Amino acid sequence: MARKRRQLTDTEREERRRKDRERLEQATAELLTSEGWRRWLRTRSVLHGYSLQNTLLIAQQAHARGIEPTYVAGFKAWLRLGRAVSKGERGLKIWAPMRVKTRDRDGEDTDERQLRFRVTTVFDVSQTTPVAGVEPAPLSPPGGDGVGGDSHAHLLPALERLATDTAYTLTWAQDIPGGAKGRCHRARRTVEVLAGLAANDRVQVLIHELCHALLGEREGLGFSYALEEIVVESATFVACSAAGFATDVESVPYVAGWAGDQDPLQVVAHTAALIDELARLIEDAIAPADIDEHDEPDVRGGQTTGAAESSAA
């Protein structure tokens, strides 16, 4: 007979919540160093279905264990993919959503559900091994020939639609003053991209300019040009990685030095949230229509509901 789990006391629950908050605060503080910032960007770029908070938590814990996260899933999800968590591996703690029943005043269950979060555990592929006799599912996304090639030309129509949906006019220009590859003019609501660029370069430049356009839709940001470029460059790196071709994360500028008189931790946390939001808008626009990345806790980083165990025995 299964042992009934002991109910936590109110004091124990509050202590658990306090530790959870501290864990996230520590993970956010990692953004205050240039390497911590780029480490989070690399994590976010390959785990684009996870929430901002979970990518922060994964980046911090993985770094502490010498792991460069690439594909992350729960214990049972790895088994479905033909891999098993290696014996003795400790998982990476994240927050997973769950729906819980609500009760009326008489203590009876109702049809309503409340969204709550619980701490659960996921594992990187480096913590797993193939299951004997089972062909592991392929993990690598479709490849391409990178910047300068044309492997991702098929993304251009979706990005053009995003420009239209944002009420911007997109122009494939023969020349742009100042030698720029692209520019966004918010007052005129226009985006220009050089027509003569290779297809993948056009994708990257268009994503960059669309990030400027989307950022302009947010009221009261009060960003300096330098801070806006940090947000846009970072979001472009993440979105391009999600699209299947990588740009250089080392070229992304660092944010904490631009905090000015404000609290650096608040600045990096707010900036990271904006980057995550912009990248998701781009990712949603270019994602294949027949794939729902939030349905299963797969290697693309879907939600982790019911997908993880605490650790490997």
User: Over 70: is that where the pLDDT of 4 sits?
Assistant: no
| Whether 172 and 232 share a structural domain | yes
Q: How many domains does the chain have?
A: 2
* 222 vs 71, more confident: 71
Does any domain span residue 291?
no
Q: Give the DSSP H/E element, type plus range, for residue 228.
A: helix 225-243
Domain housing 41: 11-130
Identify the pLDDT of residue 180.
92
Identify the pLDDT of residue 257.
67
| Whether 194 and 157 share a structural domain | yes
Identify the pLDDT of residue 159.
96
| Whether 222 and 97 share a structural domain | no
User: Over 90: is that where the pLDDT of 141 sits?
Assistant: no
Mean pLDDT confidence for 77-101 = 87
| Whether 121 and 18 share a structural domain | yes
Mean pLDDT confidence for 272-296 = 72
* 167 vs 307, more confident: 167
User: Over 50: is that where the pLDDT of 313 sits?
Assistant: no
- CA distances, 1 to each of 74, 80, 192, 267 (Å): 26, 27, 67, 52
Q: Tell me the two tokens of residue 23.
A: 């864990």
| Whether 68 and 101 share a structural domain | yes
Q: How confident is the model at residue 301 (pLDDT cuts 50, 70, 90)?
A: very low
| Whether 122 and 171 share a structural domain | no
Kindly state the percentage of the chain with pLDDT values over 90. 43
pTM value? 0.78
For 147, residues 6+ apart whose C-beta sits below 8 A from its C-beta are 198, 200, 201, 204, 245, 247
User: Over 50: is that where the pLDDT of 290 sits?
Assistant: no
User: Over 60: is that where the pLDDT of 286 sits?
Assistant: yes
Does any domain span residue 298?
no
Q: How confident is the model at residue 108 (pLDDT cuts 50, 70, 90)?
A: low
Q: Are 207 and 280 in contact, with CB atoms under 8 Å apart? A: no
